[in-house]
Amino acid sequence: MARLIVDSRESRSGLAQLLAQRGADVVVEELDVGDYVLADGLAVERKAASDFILSIENRRVFAQLATLKATYARAFIVVEGNLFATRSSMAEDALLGAMSYITVLEGVPILTTGTTAQTATLLLTMQRHALEGLGYEIALCAGKPRDRLAQSQYLVEGLPGVGPTAARNLLSHFGSAHSVFTAQAEELRQVAGVGPKTVTTVREVLEFDTRGVSIPKPPAT
């Protein structure tokens, strides 16, 4: 089992004990930056909602971010509690702007939880994903349509550049998914909502010869 390193200042927070109770190999160390190291190069800074807002107001979080990014390849902030239910006087727009800055411009994702138990679940899941990947492949299309019409539209929507409206137009024009797939380019161009670029891409995909081509597995998440 991989070690889950907890900063000594977090060791009495209750979360460390909860992680250990759930089977984590918890090791307490004095970390220079970050509260939890889940895997090689992956660290989490945990903050209560009120502390996170205060750290924005006094600018402390931005100094922490710089050190986190310099120390670890992947850094995350986990905020525990409702950010919009604190007694802080910070304007909502200012808080959202700071969160956007941290996530988009600094490249440090902010994850939120409601309770310590949820934080424990999140950290253990993050560690598992970092070490083992997702464990299964994700289907490219979501949902399982039940009736034949929905299944036909589901198939046609899988074509590149074809959304729900274009799929309905194609099925209405050709009468079946099979006829859509076998239609020639000039026939596809007659359908409303299907532009020339979409037609070209659709035909290229449908005619692409996959024999002898190595189809890679999706990367672990």
- The better pLDDT of the pair 136, 117 is held by 117
Q: Are residues 12 and 73 in the same domain?
A: yes
23-76 pLDDT, tens per residue?
Answer: 999 999 999 999 999 999 999 999 999 999 999 999 999 999 999 999 999 999
Q: Are residues 190 and 95 in the same domain?
A: no
- The C-alpha atoms of residue 70 and residue 66 are separated, in whole angstroms, by 6
Residue 102 lies in a domain: yes
One-letter amino acid of 126: M
Contact 202, 182 (CB under 8 A): no
Q: Are residues 115 and 190 in the same domain?
A: no
Residue 139 lies in a domain: no
Q: What is the pLDDT of residue 217?
A: 67
Please state the separation of Cα 31 from the chain's center in Å: 27
Confidence of residue 210 (pLDDT cuts 50, 70, 90): confident
Identify the sign of the CA torsion 165, 170, 172, 176.
negative
Q: What is the pLDDT of residue 127?
A: 95
Confidence of residue 218 (pLDDT cuts 50, 70, 90): low
The last residue of a domain, from among 66, 100, 132: 132
Half-sphere exposure of 37 (CA within 13 A, CB side): 20
Residue 140 lies in a domain: no
Q: Are residues 113 and 61 in the same domain?
A: yes
95-106 pLDDT, tens per residue?
Answer: 999 999 999 999
**Stretch 182-205: mean pLDDT, rounded?**
92
How is residue 172 annotated by DSSP? H
**Stretch 145-157: mean pLDDT, rounded?**
84
- The C-alpha atoms of residue 221 and residue 213 are separated, in whole angstroms, by 24
Q: Give whole-number Cα distances, 156 to 44, 120, 152, 159, in Å.
A: 42, 42, 6, 6
Residue 178 lies in a domain: yes
Q: Are residues 111 and 191 in the same domain?
A: no
Q: What is the pLDDT of residue 149?
A: 87
Residue pointed to by tokens 């026939």: 187
The last residue of a domain, from among 69, 99, 132: 132
Q: What is the pTM of this model?
A: 0.64
Contact 177, 155 (CB under 8 A): yes
Q: Are residues 86 and 11 in the same domain?
A: yes
Q: Are residues 97 and 128 in the same domain?
A: yes
- The better pLDDT of the pair 143, 93 is held by 93
Residue pointed to by tokens 């949902």: 143
Q: Are residues 25 and 102 in the same domain?
A: yes
Q: Residue 131: pLDDT above 70? A: yes
Confidence of residue 133 (pLDDT cuts 50, 70, 90): confident
Residue 221 lies in a domain: no
Domain carrying residue 13: 3-132
Q: Are residues 193 and 103 in the same domain?
A: no
Q: Are residues 126 and 186 in the same domain?
A: no
Q: What is the CATH number of the domain that holds 55?
A: 3.40.50.10130
Q: Give whole-number Cα distances, 143 to 139, 148, 154, in Å.
A: 9, 14, 9
Confidence of residue 177 (pLDDT cuts 50, 70, 90): very high
Number of domains in the chain: 2
The last residue of a domain, from among 107, 132, 157: 132
